[in-house]
Every structure is written in structure tokens, then in C-alpha cells.
Amino acid sequence: MLNIIIVVAVVLILAVILTAYRVTTLVDVVKKDKEKSYVPSGNSYQGALMVVFLVVGIVAFFYYSMTEYDTYNLPIASEHAVVTENLFWITMAITVFVFIVTQIFLFGFSWKYRYKKTNVAHYYPHNNKLEMIWTIIPAIVLAWLIISGLKQWSVITGPAPEDAEVIEVMGYQYAWAYRYPGKDGSLGKYDFRKIDAVNSMGIDLEDQFGHDDFMPTQLVLPKGKPVLLKIRGRDVIHSVYNPHFRMQMNAVPGMPTQFWFTPSVSTAEMREITGNPDFNYELVCNKICGKSHYGMKGIITVLEPEEYDSWYKESQENTFLKQNPGYLSEVPEDFKEAAKIAAGIENIGKEQKVTAAASSSK
């Protein structure tokens, strides 16, 4: 309700200003000698304002860009980011140059060619040379920019190196879930129909590769090793975003996407670079996906390769199946023993057996 009142108030104020302006203009017209051609009184004044706007705008643009440089240009923490960063600044340099030049013409000409009685319009309908120049040059520059961008884009989204760590990331309202392949090095299949309160990623336990998959609460990555993120969305479109890695990829329900990159700076190193002992890489959602979108923050930890290996070794013991033995009921009878071994529950205790039996009979 308050919003409607504010909108109505703004509209009414604008209407009052417009009416006052029209009244003064009409009074102006009536006062003038009819023989003289009519020149609005604010003509030169408004022309000068155009120039003020140009100068203030350009100064503010550069001032803000420089003072906030560290805010929007975070330190790079992945290998491909060096290339994309380079492309970004080349594109920025070209577009800013063209932008400034065109704005100078736009506002400068508004001042220069403001109405004057002595000014006479010059009839200049066409110039083939000019048309060629401002068609061909931008075409070449833009094609070059786009082709260099596409080349890098096809690397990032193309097949990952063979030795890449494959990790699944799933966005849902309003958090992230991660799945690692476990001891066998392969992620098991998933099926959205298997999703429930516990099996949040819908691991299909009929597939043997899924029996040793584990789902940590954080995304942990090795430094200096390619990482392939297999990305999906569970409900609406989310977006896997991290500015330090210059990484962004939509997480779309029903349409898996992927992104591979090589982290080049560990969390510990970045803490030193930023001088912030509490620094953590964040995995944030970059699509307005609902009312708690702002809360979709995950922590990404980049470890040295040896640290990563020992983390992996430790974490792979906590397989999904071991933590939720009730789901053994979904494993086909023939694979059950193998599944228990893969999931690390071959020594399943009596108590757990009871839980498993209880949930399988539900």
C-alpha cells in the first residue's frame, strides 16, 4: 500500500512540474513579438547543462572505477581467470574508449548546435565512405572480441582433462549440495524421482557407482589440479558463482551443465594475500531464485594437493549409504553385499541393522 502511495505521489509531483513548465513556456510565447522566431528561454542554459552532465558523468565514472577497484576486481585464484581477465580488460578498454568518444559527440554537439538564429542546417544526406568506415571497423573489432571470448568459453565448458576431479554441485532453494565419487572415482547415477528429505540429490542406489559416493557439507578442491563441476538445479534456476575463480555457470533443473577450472591459490594463501585470517572462498547463487536467494552461500576450501588427498581419504569413509543405511533397501538384492563393502558398512553393527530393517519395512 505504501509503495502505491509513493508511486502516486511521484507521478503527481512530476505532473505538477510539467504543468508549471508548460505554463511558463506558453507565457513566454505570448510575450514574444510574433515577428521574431520563438527561442525557448532556457535554450543556452540547457545546452550548458548537457556539457556539465558530460563532464560530471565522465569524472564520476573514472573516480568510482578507480576508488572501488579492489571491491569489484578481486584477486585471481584460478588458471583460466588470467586469460578471461585479460579479455575482460581488452573489451573494457575498447568499449570505454568508444563510449567516451560517442558521449563527447552526443552532449558536445547538443551544446554546439543548440538553437541560434544564425545557425543554418546543412543538407548532408549520405556519405558512402563514412558508412563503410563505421560499419567495417566495428565489425572487425567486435568479431575479434567475440571469437577470442568464444574460444576461451569453449575451453571452460568443453571436455575436462582426463585427470580432473569430478564433483557434482546441485543448487536448491536455498542451499548447495555436493557429491564426490568416492573410492571408485565415478559418480553414480541420479534420478530426480529418488529425491527425498534425506537423499537430497536423488542418488540412484540401483547403480553400483553410487554406493561409495559421499556428500560433504563444503566444497573442497585441490590446488593446481583441474576440477570438473557437474552442475544441476533441483527446483528453479540457480547459478554457481565465485568471483575469485572467475567462475559462473547456471544450475538448471533437467539440463545438467558443467564448468571445469584449475584453482591456483589455496584458501590459506588467499588469507595471506587478502590479510584476512577469516577469508573463505564463497559459492554464491547468482540468479534471483526466490525469497531466500541471498542466503545461498556455500564455503569453498582450496587445499594443497597433499592436504586434499588426506581430506578425501578421511571423507570417503562417510559414504551416503553408510550414514543412511536404511537406503540399503533400495539396492538390488544381488549387489547388497558389494554395496555394503563399497559403502564401508561391512561391519554393520546390530543396532544399525535394526534401523536398516525398520526403514526397509516402511
Residues in contact with Cu ion by CB under 5 A are 238, 285, 289, 296
| Nearest residue (CB) to Cu ion, 80 versus 179 | 179
Question: In whole angstroms, what is the distance from residue 254 CA to residue 237 CA?
Answer: 10
227-233 sheet: strands from edge to edge = 175-179, 165-172, 227-233, 257-261
CB 251, CB 260: distance < 8 Å: no
Helix (H, G, I), strand (E, B) or coil at 91: helix
**Least spacing, CB of residue 176 vs Cu ion, in Å:** 9
Hey, which residues does 241 pair with through a beta bridge?
248, 284
| Nearest residue (CB) to Cu ion, 243 versus 344 | 243
Residue the block writes with cell 540399503? 328
**Least spacing, CB of residue 251 vs Cu ion, in Å:** 8
State the cell numbers at 280: 573463505
**Least spacing, CB of residue 169 vs Cu ion, in Å:** 12
**Least spacing, CB of residue 295 vs Cu ion, in Å:** 9
| Nearest residue (CB) to Cu ion, 151 versus 297 | 297
297-303 sheet: strands from edge to edge = 219-222, 297-303, 281-285, 238-242, 247-251
- DSSP for 247-273 reads EEEEEBTTB-EEEEE-B-S-HHHHHHH
Q: What beta strand segments (E) does 107-191 contain?
A: 165-172, 175-179
| Nearest residue (CB) to Cu ion, 240 versus 270 | 240
**Least spacing, CB of residue 297 vs Cu ion, in Å:** 10
Provide long-range contacts, Cβ within 8 A and 24+ apart, for 21-29. none
| Nearest residue (CB) to Cu ion, 49 versus 175 | 175
| Nearest residue (CB) to Cu ion, 149 versus 290 | 290
**Least spacing, CB of residue 281 vs Cu ion, in Å:** 18
**Least spacing, CB of residue 116 vs Cu ion, in Å:** 57
Half-sphere exposure of residue 18, counting CA atoms within 13 Å on the CB side? 6
| Nearest residue (CB) to Cu ion, 296 versus 342 | 296
